[in-house]
């Protein structure tokens, strides 16, 4: 069985400040890990994915995440927040066969001017 836990349901940051969203996973097999973003009334958009290649993964819009097996973590960061980063972010894990996604509960990011 695979699952993810996102720490913090809400994160508020100032524009220009670091964004850090935490995700820990549980998996009995080498995991595939993903971060998705959801803007209001829209579907999910892939930010980045880890599929057992480089442990530091760079995604779209300046986001990156580091896979740390020893900590079972896959935290998402962005050095400088922009107002357009306000959205809900989901961490997800899948296996490498069916690829069905198990999502965390999500973290809502608000950006203060």
The footprint of other proteins (CB under 8 A) covers 32, 34, 36, 41-46, 49, 51, 90, 92, 94, 96, 98-106
Return phi, psi of residue 30, to 5°.
-55, 125
85 DSSP 8-state letter = G
Smallest gap, in angstroms, from Cβ of residue 51 to other proteins?
Answer: 5
The residue among 85 and 90 lying less far from other proteins, judged by its C-beta, is: 90
Smallest gap, in angstroms, from Cβ of residue 73 to other proteins?
Answer: 19
Smallest gap, in angstroms, from Cβ of residue 72 to other proteins?
Answer: 19
Q: What is the torsional sign of CA 37, 76, 81, 10? A: positive
The residue among 17 and 49 lying less far from other proteins, judged by its C-beta, is: 49
The residue among 63 and 90 lying less far from other proteins, judged by its C-beta, is: 90
Calpha distance 93→76 (Å, rounded): 14
């Amino acid at each position: 069985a695979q699952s993810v836990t996102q720490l913090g349901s809400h994160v508020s940051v100032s524009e220009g400040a670091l964004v850090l969203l935490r995700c820990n996973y549980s998996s009995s097999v080498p995991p595939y890990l993903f971060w998705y973003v959801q803007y209001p009334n829209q579907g999910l958009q892939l930010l980045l994915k880890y599929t057992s290649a480089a442990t530091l993964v760079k995604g779209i819009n300046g986001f990156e995440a580091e896979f740390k097996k020893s900590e079972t973590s896959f935290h998402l960061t962005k050095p400088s927040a922009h107002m357009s980063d306000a959205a809900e972010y989901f961490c997800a894990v899948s296996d490498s066969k069916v690829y069905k996604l198990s999502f965390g509960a999500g973290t809502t990011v608000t950006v203060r001017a």
